């Protein structure tokens, strides 16, 4: 599999309402950290996640987290 594009070397802090979201795994979306379909034609697929209530989250910006879509600090090692 190819390497994702690093959107930023820090998490995206977001306060999100309850609902379903699609996190960009390829790093090419113009709507970071969310998918805009830019992965088409690549090895990547967006990651679906759901929130049951309004929540503050830190979504991975470097696209290398082992806890996708959430930041695990991997950006500190790249």
pLDDT tens string 42-77: 999 999 999 999 999 999 999 999 999 999 999 999
Give the 3-state DSSP-derived string for the chain, with helices as H, strands as E and coil as C: CCCCCCCCCCCEEEEECCEEEEECCCCCCCCCCECCCCCCCCCCCCEEEEECCCEEEEECCCCCCCCCCECCCHHHHC
Number of domains within the chain: 1
Whether 46 is covered by a domain: the verdict is yes
Whether 5 is covered by a domain: the verdict is no
pLDDT on residue 21: 98
Average pLDDT of every residue of the chain: 97
- Does 1 have pLDDT greater than 70? no
Whether 1 is covered by a domain: the verdict is no
Q: Taking the model in full, what pTM does it have? A: 0.94
C-alpha dihedral sign at 38, 44, 45, 48: negative
Whether 34 is covered by a domain: the verdict is yes
pLDDT on residue 47: 98
Range(s) of the domain holding residue 37: 12-77
The answer to whether 29 and 6 are in contact (CB under 8 A) is no
């Amino acid at each position: 599999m190819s390497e994702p594009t690093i959107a930023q070397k820090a998490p995206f802090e977001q306060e999100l309402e309850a609902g379903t979201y699609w996190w960009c795994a390829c790093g090419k979306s113009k709507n970071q950290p969310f998918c805009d379909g830019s992965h088409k034609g690549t090895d990547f697929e967006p990651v679906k996640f759901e929130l049951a209530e309004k929540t503050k989250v830190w979504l991975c910006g470097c696209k290398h987290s082992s806890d996708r879509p959430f930041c695990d600090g991997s950006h500190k090692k790249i």
